[in-house]
Amino acid sequence: MTHPGKQRTVLLAVREGHVDPRLLTSAVALCRRLEADLEIQVIAGSGATPPEMETFLGALRGEGLPFSVEVKPSLRRRDLVDYANAHENIAALVIDSREGWEALAQDRSSDPWKRLACPLVTAAAPDKKPV
């Protein structure tokens, strides 16, 4: 795949315990539409990629889609927004849902998603209702 100028990247943030096949396939579909690479940031307390992601990562390798994976013990929504805003090649941020990140944020009165400079794509399964 040849891309003019700087390569675009879709940032996928995955929380351990919230790995939904729809989230993963939505991120890949977006990468294809945008002709973008995929950067995956995984929040996992163990420091290892959750087992439920192994099939997905294997499929990415098989398809030859350029991607990277970074596992972090914690990641707040503000951290994601700051990271995406600091990297102009980030074309979109994909998460499972806007809900649930508040437990990871220290300041619950602010909404960092409003400061995000790129599109925010939520890809939770339709049967999952916010709590």
Would you say residue 36 has pLDDT above 80? yes
Would you say residue 127 has pLDDT above 70? no
* Domain coordinates in residue numbering, the chain: 19-122
Would you say residue 41 has pLDDT above 60? yes
Would you say residue 27 has pLDDT above 50? yes
**10 burial class (0-12, 13-18, 19+ CB within 10 angstroms)?**
buried
Token pair in block for residue 102: 């508040």
Q: Point out which residues pair with 117 in neighbouring strands.
A: none
Backbone angles phi, psi at 41, to 5 degrees: -115, 120
Beta strands in 3-131 (DSSP E): 9-15, 37-43, 67-72, 90-95, 120-122
What pLDDT is recorded for position 113?
A: 87
What pTM was computed for the model? 0.84
- 1.10.10, 3.40.50, 2.60.120, 1.10.860: which CATH number matches 19-122? 3.40.50
- For 1-10, 29-38, 77-86, which range has the lowest pLDDT when averaged over its residues? 1-10
Would you say residue 3 has pLDDT above 50? no
The mean pLDDT value of the chain amounts to 84
d(CA 118, CA 39): 15
